[in-house]
Every structure is written in structure tokens, then in C-alpha cells.
Structure 1
Amino acid sequence: MLVPGDRVAVDGFLATVRFVGEIPNWPNETAIGVEWDVPERGKNDGSLNGTRYFSTRHGAKSGSFVKLSKLQPTRSFMDAMAYQYASDESLASESVSLVDHFDLTIGTKKVESYGFEKLSRLQADFRNLETATLERLNVAVSSPIDSSLHNLQVLNLGFNLLDWHNLMQIVLQLPNLHTLKANGNRWTRYERCEPCLSVRTLHLSACDLGSCEYTSQLLSCFPRLQHLHVASNGLNRIQVCGLESLDLSDNSFSLLSDAPPAKRLNLSYNDLHIPPLTDVSLQMVEELDLCNAAVSEWSEIDNLAQLPNLTSLRILNTPLLNSIDYDSAISQLFARIPSLVKLDGTVYTAEHRDNFELYFISKVRSKEWSCPSPRWAALCAKHGLSPEKSAPAERFPTSTRVDVVYNDLRFSATLFSSATVGKLRGKISRKFGLSVLDFQLYTQLGQDTEHLANDQQPVAALALANPVQVKLQPWERGLRQQPYPRKSGVAD
């Protein structure tokens, strides 16, 4: 019998039971009050004709009443395995549950029910499995698991109907399981269970953990975790430590200092700022993703310099980077964060860093940019320059300004002397939202049109006038218009 807190599926949509009983609209029929995982599917807040039957937690219209007869049937774990992976179609579609049969070793009952040949074939199928995906199969209960599944290493149970007890009963019977994916499940109750020591990677994204009162207990069931994915959970705090990687994207963190430490930390799509960092545990961070965060001040980047091991940063689509030319932003980011090597997926060399830092110094001396005193002194000492901000420029890298025109759109970009045509192509791709394969680059040299086809060619080596007018043409259009000048006397 269903009780509040149970999980159900209706027409492929998952929901949590909030009420079981009768309502005046459906006399003599059991009504199930549910709160949908997708709130937009709901019609009410648990009230009907002025009478409240249950309360919703995620919006005034995230609930509905459904008839008991509308609920989709559920499966056991072994039923789902047979349905998904049995090579014999007749076995996979058996209407009788396999749960009872897998309670026993191969013996009379199994042979009578399925025949020795079918069961041997099923066990052979399972024995070869290292990865199993049972996503959206309405798995609701565990079952005794046959030893032929002991080779299973990766299990996807995403978007099913398992409570925590049944989930752990499955996991604890798979001794070699190292990766568990349980995204899209919800847990309204918790029972203490034996810890799982084999799982190293855990995916619990979109599980509403921010509203779950048992989140810390759930995570404590996996004491040897190295990689945790808990995106899209409405979290603003979580207690974990010592992880190799932690995905907290699309949550509700407001400060970097609220995040637990991990070598690879993903905080993209959080409305997050970077305060001065006093927690020494964050010094273990080596890779940090802040794409689409709320970072808006260069002082926040200066605070990142307090992370001595930070070598990789992603920071696209933040207010800070959207307010400045990307190449100028690169210079500031590398100059302000001395340990940085990889930015937005691109690895930069020591020569690149020197160019960025020298360009940064020139901008500070021209009073266009500012720099904290300790970092300024370190930069000048590194390059053998006077720390006087009014000192004349010395051996600073030159830059090229490129005007880019695409239909009626136009923007200007500043490129360093070491920048290539490929770098320019990447900037244009980001600016206009075009694939790098969707356009060609041309520049006008007097009466001639030159095709910029070599992505490895430095822009400075083109010896073009400054600024350079660059026009974009889609590949198909460019080919039809024959961008290369024809030589006279050459037949078609």
C-alpha cells in the first residue's frame, strides 16, 4: 500500500506521494495526491474545493491528484536487468517477476520456471557486463542479485523510484561497482545501512538534495568517494572533503568560500562571488570552473591568487569577462593569478604568460588598469623592471587591432603579436555564436581580397595595415562566389 513519501510514475513523469485517500470528485476510488518532480506539470497546491489534503514544497501549483489506476507498474532491479539485457526476448518479456527465482541458486525451481538453457544464457549475458544502464525503467525495489553480476563496475539507475534503503541494498550486492549514477531520484526517508566501500564516483544530480534533510547521511554511506556530481540540487552548503573532483554546478552557492575543497571544483551556473579566501583547505584546488557565475570585479580575481595550486580556470560568460575584450581579459587573468596555465580549455606557454604580463604592466603604467601592490612588485621583479608605475615602457609586446565585420554586426578586438589566425577565428566564434567550421576569413588589400586560410599563421606576420577589415562568409557561400581571383587564360 502506498504511503506519503513513496515515489510513483505517471505517463513517464516522476512524483512523490503526499496523500493517499478519497476525495469527493472520485467516490469509491483511491486518490493519490502527488508533487511532481517537474513542478510545471502540477495543477494545485494540495487543496481541492477549499479543503487541504496535502502541502507542496516546490510551488503553489506543483501538485495534482491522480487515480491509483493511473500509476505505472514498477520493476525490481533484476526484472529491469532481464528486460534490458536478456538476449532471449521471451525471457526478457516474462510477466512473472524474476525476484523469487533469483532468491535461489540454479536449481529445480529455476529450471522448472525458465529452463536451464535460458537461465544459463541470461547468466552468461550478465557475466560479461561491466556497465549497465537502467535509466527510467521504474525500478522501485531491490532484489537478491545473482553472482553473475559481480563484474558490474558502472551502474546507471537514474530517474527511477528507489528509496535509499533499496538503492543501497542493490549497491552492496555488487562488490566491484566503482561508479553509481542515481541522478533524478528523490529520497524522503533514510535508514541506517552498511557503508559501501567500493564506489569511488557518485552522481546525484537533480535529486533535490537542497530540500532533503538527510543529505549528509546519504553521502556518508560512501566513505571512499573521490568524485561527486551533485549539480542542479538547490544546494548552498554541503559537507564533503578530500575529493578529487566535485561538481556543484547549477546550485545556490553565493560565495566561493562556502564550497568544500576538491582538486577539481565546478561551480558554474551559481550566483557566486569570490571573497578573500582564509580557509586553507581551498588551497588544494587545482582546477576551477566559474562559467556563468556572478564574478564582476577584478578584486575577486586577485582573491583567486590566494589559491597557490590553481592551474586551470574556466570563467566565460561572467559579468567581468562580458565587460571587456577577451584578449585584454586573458592578460589580466594571467598577470593576476601567477599559477595559471590553462584558461577556458586552452593551455598557454611560458612565453604567452610573459607577453600577457608585460602587456598588463604597460596598461598599469598608462593608468588604464590597476594592480594590487604585492602582485605589482612581484611582476616587476620577475621581468627586471622598475616598480615605479610612472616609469617609461620597456620591451612591451605590441598589439594589433582587428575590426571584424559580419553582415551588419561589427566589433573590434586587440590581438597580441603572437596571436594566430586561429586565435582570431576563435574570438569571432565566441562573439557571434558561430561554429569555427561555419565561416571563412577574408581581408581587403587594396583591390585584392586575401583569404586567411592558415590558422597557424601569426596575425602580425600578415603585415597588414592597422586596423584590419575582416569579413566573414559561410563556407558554402564563399565557395559559390569563388573567393580566389582567377588567372587570365585559364579555362573553366
Structure 2
Amino acid sequence: MFFVSLHSVYCIWFEPFQCKRNEDELEIIQYEAAQRTTSVDHVSCRQVVKGLQYFSGIWLGVEWDDPQRGKHDGTYEGTQYFKCRHPRGGSFIRPNKANFGVDFLTAVKGRYGLNEKQDAQNGIENTCVFGKKTVEFVGRDSIEKKQSQLHRLVHISVHECTVSHAGQKEEISGTCANIRHIDLSKNLVAYWDTVIDIASQVPNLETLDISGNKMKFPSTSISKSSAFSKLTTLALNQTEITWTEVLLCAPGWPVLEELYLTSNNITVLERPDNVLQTLKLLDLSNNQLLDGSQLHLIGHLPRLEQLILTNNGIPSVHFPDADFGCKTKMFPSLKRLAINDNKISQWSSINELEKLPSLQVLECRNNPLMDTEKNPETLRQLIIAKISQLEVLNKSEIFPDERRGAELDYRKIFGKDWLAAGGHWDPVRNKPSEEFLAAHPRYPSLCLKYGAPEEGELKGQQPLTLKNQLLSKRPEMVKAFPSSMTIQRVKGLLYRLLRIPGSELKLSYESSKLKGKEVELDNDLKPLQFYSIENGDSVLVRW
């Protein structure tokens, strides 16, 4: 059971404890263990309640969800009254400061306008007096009447409504027979059994969000029941569930397709045998997996199409069951992968993603690898060239022309390394080293697709600069460029000089004050002054 106030919740364990002060025995209370409550607008978690020495009356020992609200670890004046997970997460409060929550149906009626107090006030709230005239607001009664017809509701949200228990048996099914989607997030549910009690009265339940309820989950496998027989989407974010507990509960989710488990401090995975076989989306973001090899344990979910691993501290990804140029048997259906905000620093992890047979969409922002190239566009082109089936990178679609350009550039840039490693235009003599193939596993397939790079292509070419190279090969021209001139107009000038369409030109500039640092001129609609170009700077032209 939970207790709640407006903004905070805590869980508490209650145990009997007696102490004496001036020979007067203090009052003792005993509650069911693992209750949650809110008090003074803050939330706290499961702990113990005992009589507090030297202070009269009844006190509750609590551990706050936010440890900054606490003052100690459950110890006062040398006596440990209860234990906390955090060394300063505990406090003592009076029982009258605690709210133990309401049943599900009471919360629904309160949220959707079906309660006696509101009905009694409707006559007052629907009218307004202007001078001597009383004006009635038409429409409100009909809206509330519609909302109050609970049996018609399909979507129900009781987010932050202090729900702590299911209520009377069959009460929900007799009142809200058509519910399909429930948002029960950030309430005071303390037990998974409470969730089952609610769901068992909602036979058509398809979507359930129980996030933000720190619950006690079963320690043994749950037998199959009809409570979640139609459930396809389940959110268990911030519930402190472990992966082991997920697998123990999973037999009760026979048709589950989407499972959200963010921010649960999950550190270890296990192979899901005969469960979660219908899963299409798994969100494990903001956990602590830390080791990429943990992913191998969930790599055989047959229908998994989307995997979200954002902010897990993962340093690398690898699939040891497949050699260079081959596909892994893991994640056979995976189309979308998010590995943002991890610790991936080596290109070898990107090479490994080419082994995924169905990967189409990748998000990999905010990894140390992203800092290895000064130009973000260059980084993007390298990733595109390394993963052949990729269609969307970091939420930006990859068009055929971009892929072709990226692959041709990749083939050309690493052509000299290929030759030095034993590559050759003659297929019989083409024997690149294992080291080269490990660093560039797609290079052989690019040579098959576009042909091996010719010797002329591999000669170093410096970019042209307007000042030193481009104009020096033509009659000298002196032309003033106003700072308000757009990049599009600059490209128009270059077209007249070079006869190369502006769409094929890539412009950047090098500051005379910061040699070796290029800034891409990537927005045709921006003026030169937007990029802080000054006299003496060089514009670099590539096509």
C-alpha cells in the first residue's frame, strides 16, 4: 500500500516497537509491510515504522524516493529504527502527515468528474450573474455527463492520482467494461499483485503504463493467467524491476509487443527462454548494462524490431558469431537501434553493426566516436559507407545519391591503404591483410559494386581555393563580396566560373587566424556574415 500527498511519495515498512519515556508506554501501531505514502508534497519508499524513543506518540520511519529529502539512514541517537538504501534517505514523520491513497475506481471517478461533491456544485458552477441577469453556460453539463459515463471510456489516465489498491472485487469490471488503455503512472502501487488485481477486471486491456511506482515483484515464476491476455504494450519505467523479475512475470504477457524498462538500474540480462517471443520493441535506456556482450543474451528474440539502449555506458558492440563480411544470427528482425549517449569510441563497433541482417535505422549521437572527425558531415558519410542497409541515420533520411557519394568517397579515401595492405586490381593478386579487412570490412564489397579504385583516382588532390588556385588559372579578377551575399549566390558565381552546378558544390572556409580548421558553409540561405568570414579567409570548393 502507498501513501501520498501532492508532490511526494515514499514507501515504508511498519513493525511493532515499544519504548518508554517517563515510564509511560508509547502507543504502538502495526501496518502491512511495504506501504507507500506521500507527505508534505514529497514521495518516499519502503522502510520500517517503530516507536521513536524520547518523543511521545506514534512516528513513521520513511525513506524518500529523493534521498535529498532525508536526514539520516534510519538511525537516531545511536538506535537504528529502520534501514535505508541511501545513507541519508530516511526521516521520521507523524501519521497524520501521510496519505495512504485511494482505490482505482475512486481515482477514475475523481479524474473524470463523477463524484458527489462535483455534482452538488454543478448548479453553481454552470451559472454566472451579470448585474441582475443570470447567464447559464450551455454545454458543460453535457460534457460532464459524457465523461461520467465510465462504461464508454476506452482510454483512462489516473496519472498521479494516489492510486494504491484495486478496490472491491469486480467493481472495476462492472463500471468500466470497455477500458483498453490505462495510464497508472506515478501512483502508490506497492505490489505487482495489485496491478494484476486491476488488470484482471479489464479483459480487453491492450496498453498499460505503470511507470514511477516502486513495486515489489514476485520472486518465483508467475503462472499464466487471463489478466494480461490481450496486453501488447507495457511500461515499467522507474519501478526498480530487475531483468530476472521481468522474466518471472513474462509468462503472463503472452502477446506483448512493446516493453519499456527505462531507469531501473538494470545491470545484468538473462536469456529469455520461451517468453517475450512476440516482443517487437524493447526500451532499456538509462540503465547500467556497461558491457556490450550482455546484448548477446537477448539477441535471439525472433521478432524484435526496435532496441533502445540510450545511456547505458556501453563501450563497444560486437557479434563474435559472424566473420567479416558475414551476417550474425543475432537480432534477425532488428530494424531500429538507438545507442545514443554511450561510451562507444572505436570504429570497430560501427563495423559490427554491418553484421545485423535487417538494420535500417540507427541513432548513435553523443558517443566519443563522434569526436574523432572534425567535420560532422564526414563522420556521417563514413557511417553510411560502413553500414550497407542503413536508410536513416540520426533521424535524417539517407537518399540514394548521398549513399552513392559516401561509398565512392570511402572507396577513394582508403584506396592507398588498401593497396598498401595487399589489395590489387587483379582479382588473383588481390589479397588485402586481415588487419585491413577488420578496419574496413565493407571495402571488398564496395570494390565489387563500383570497381577497384584506379591509380589516377588515388593521387592526392588538394581542394581549390578561390584566392590562390581557382582565379590564378584565369585572367585575374578583383571582385568585392558583400557580407550580406548568401551562400547560394556565391555558388551561382562559381557556376559561371567552373560550369559546375551549385548542387554538386560543397563549400567551406578556412580562417586566416585559425589555420587548418575548416568550417562548412552548409546553409545556402545564410549570408557570409553568418559564418564570420573576414578579409583574408579562404573559401574551399569541392565537388
Q: Establish whether TM, by shorter chain, passes 0.5.
A: yes
Q: Residue 136 of structure 1: CA displacement? A: 1.2
Partner AA of 1:199 in structure 2: L
Deviation string for 1:12-65 (max 9, x for gaps)? 332223112201143222x222222222222111111111122222x2112222
- Quick one: distance in 2 between partners of 1:9 and 1:129? 29
Paired position in structure 1 for 2:309: 267
Paired position in structure 2 for 1:328: 378
Q: 1:469 to 1:353 in 2, by over 3 A?
A: closer
Paired position in structure 1 for 2:294: 258
More off after superposition, 138-147 vs 153-162: 138-147
Secondary structure at the counterpart of residue 307 of structure 1:
coil
TM-score (norm 2): 0.66
Alignment of 1:52-451 (within 5 A): 52-57=80-85, 59-87=86-114, 90=117, 125-143=149-167, 144-162=171-189, 163-190=191-218, 192=222, 194=225, 195-210=227-242, 214-239=245-270, 240=272, 241-242=276-277, 243-259=279-295, 260-261=298-299, 262-272=304-314, 273-278=316-321, 280-324=329-373, 325-367=375-417, 372=438, 374-386=441-453, 391-393=455-457, 446-447=481-482, 449-451=484-486
Deviation string for 1:47-98 (max 9, x for gaps)? 11111122222x211222222221024111111011000256625799xxxx
How many residues get paired? 405
Which runs of no fewer than 5 residues in structure 2 stay unpaired? 1-29, 122-140, 322-327, 421-435, 467-478, 493-500, 511-518, 531-543
Max Rg structure: 2
- Quick one: distance in 2 between partners of 1:204 and 1:161? 14
Q: Is the 8 A contact 2:508 2:521 kept in 1?
A: no
Which runs of no fewer than 5 residues in structure 1 stay unpaired? 95-116, 403-443, 480-492
Deviation string for 1:200-240 (max 9, x for gaps)? 00001111124x97443234332221000110110123455
Q: 1:16 to 1:343 in 2, by over 3 A?
A: same
Q: Residue 150 of structure 1: CA displacement? A: 2.0
Q: Is the 8 A contact 2:363 2:393 kept in 1?
A: yes
- Quick one: distance in 1 between partners of 2:175 and 2:88? 46
Q: 1:47 to 1:401 in 2, by over 3 A?
A: farther
Q: Residue 248 of structure 1: CA displacement? A: 0.6
Secondary structure at the counterpart of residue 355 of structure 2:
coil
Secondary structure at the counterpart of residue 43 of structure 2:
strand
Q: 1:448 to 1:318 in 2, by over 3 A?
A: closer
Paired position in structure 2 for 1:20: 49
Q: Is the 8 A contact 1:4 1:20 kept in 2?
A: no
Partner AA of 1:227 in structure 2: E
Paired position in structure 1 for 2:22: none
TM-score (norm 1): 0.72
Paired position in structure 2 for 1:46: 74
More off after superposition, 125-134 vs 73-82: 125-134
- Quick one: distance in 2 between partners of 1:397 and 1:356? 17
Deviation string for 1:274-311 (max 9, x for gaps)? 13343733232210001111110001111111111111
Q: 1:392 to 1:172 in 2, by over 3 A?
A: farther
- Quick one: distance in 1 between partners of 2:157 and 2:329? 40
- Quick one: distance in 2 between partners of 1:65 and 1:175? 42
Partner AA of 2:107 in structure 1: A
Deviation string for 1:452-476 (max 9, x for gaps)? 579x99865679786588699x99x
Instruction: Please tell me the root mean square deviation across aligned C-alpha atoms, in Å.
Output: 3.8
Deviation string for 1:321-367 (max 9, x for gaps)? 12212211112212211121110011112221111011111221254
Q: 1:466 to 1:86 in 2, by over 3 A?
A: closer
- Quick one: distance in 2 between partners of 1:18 and 1:5? 7
Partner AA of 2:484 in structure 1: T
